[in-house]
């Protein structure tokens, strides 16, 4: 069980990095953004979760799957809001390089609050074991209801993941 806790985040981080490391001409700024992203990901704890431990999703957010580049940009802007200044710009440069394909192990989501992108998150399913899903990359803009936005996104993602996977991890 312990190996699975470390395996999913490592797979997700490798998939995220591949958008820069596999690029023919990655920019210096996107490489810097990848390094900043990895630094925060390495600090995150990963824990098993049960959908029953979380509230039902609220109506606070309207959540949409990222299925086009404009939504990738919105995901990137919300996610990068946890960094400041030049660091935020570097993370945006990195995240906007994400390419989602039909057989992709990751699903990105953007939560809209009052018609504007305000929260984001990811579901990463183990390609070799679709019964294992990592709920990660949850973020929200620094609005007065930041904590409620994060909780709403977390609850929504866990509910979605529980419909297709038996084992859920939050990290």
How many CB atoms lie under 10 A from the CB of residue 140? Answer: 27
Q: How many distinct structural domains can be found in the chain?
A: 1
Is residue 84's pLDDT more than 90? Answer: yes
pLDDT at 37: 97
How confident is the model over 80-109, as a mean pLDDT? 95
Q: Secondary structure of 54-77 in the HEC alphabet?
A: CCCCCCCCEEEECCCHHHHHHHHH
Q: Which domain holds residue 81?
A: 2-170
> Is-contact 154 160, C-beta < 8 A?
no
pLDDT, tens digit (0-9, with 9 covering 90-100), for 12-56: 999 999 999 999 999 999 999 999 999 999 888 899 999 988 878
DSSP summary character for residue 9? H
Query: CB-side exposure of 113: number of CA atoms within 13 Å?
Result: 18
CATH label of the domain that carries residue 163: 3.40.630.30
Nearest to 120 by CA among 101, 99, 94, 146: 146
pLDDT at 2: 47
Under the banding of pLDDT at 50, 70 and 90, the label for residue 82 is very high
pLDDT at 1: 44
Q: Which residue has the tokens 């404009």?
A: 70
Nearest to 156 by CA among 89, 107, 103: 107
């Amino acid at each position: 069980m312990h190996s699975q806790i470390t395996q999913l985040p490592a797979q997700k981080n490798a998939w995220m990095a591949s958008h820069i490391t596999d690029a023919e001409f990655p920019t210096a700024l996107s490489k810097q953004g990848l390094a900043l992203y990895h630094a925060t990901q390495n600090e995150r704890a990963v824990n098993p979760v049960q959908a029953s431990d979380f509230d039902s999703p609220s109506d606070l957010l309207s959540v949409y799957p990222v299925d086009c580049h404009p939504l990738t940009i919105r995901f990137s802007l919300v996610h990068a809001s946890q960094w400041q200044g030049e660091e935020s710009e570097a993370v945006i440069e990195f995240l906007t390089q994400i390419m989602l394909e039909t057989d992709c192990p990751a699903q990105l989501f953007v939560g809209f609050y009052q018609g504007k992108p305000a929260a984001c998150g990811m579901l990463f399913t183990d390609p070799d074991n679709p019964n294992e899903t990592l709920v990660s990359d949850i973020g929200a803009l620094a609005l007065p209801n930041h904590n409620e936005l994060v909780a709403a996104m977390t609850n929504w993602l866990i509910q979605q993941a529980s419909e297709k996977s038996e084992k859920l991890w939050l990290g």
